[in-house]
């Protein structure tokens, strides 16, 4: 799934993305670390892996979108 980086805190390695429908979804340090990223800037397109539905939905991986 694709999304756009919305917020990122480099101290905690947590943040949030905006899905293409505008829904914000938070991610934790484990999801950021799983992607192997060093930094994330708001506005960057990212690829995310998600588990669960509705309120139980959580991001398990954040990585940069590549062609």
Stated as kind and residue range, the H or E segment containing 34 is: helix 29-34
Using 50, 70 and 90 to split pLDDT, how confident is the model at 67?
low
- pLDDT for 65: 80
Please write the tens of the pLDDT for every residue from 20-45: 999 999 999 999 999 999 999 999 99
Contact 12, 57 (CB under 8 A): no
pTM of the model: 0.89
Contact 46, 40 (CB under 8 A): yes
């Amino acid at each position: 799934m694709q999304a756009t980086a919305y917020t990122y805190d480099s101290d905690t390695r947590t943040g949030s993305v905006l899905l293409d429908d505008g829904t914000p979804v938070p991610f934790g340090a484990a999801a950021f670390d799983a992607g192997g990223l060093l930094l994330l800037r708001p506005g960057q397109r990212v690829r995310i892996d998600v588990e669960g539905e509705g309120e139980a939905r959580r991001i398990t991986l954040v990585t940069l979108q590549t062609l």
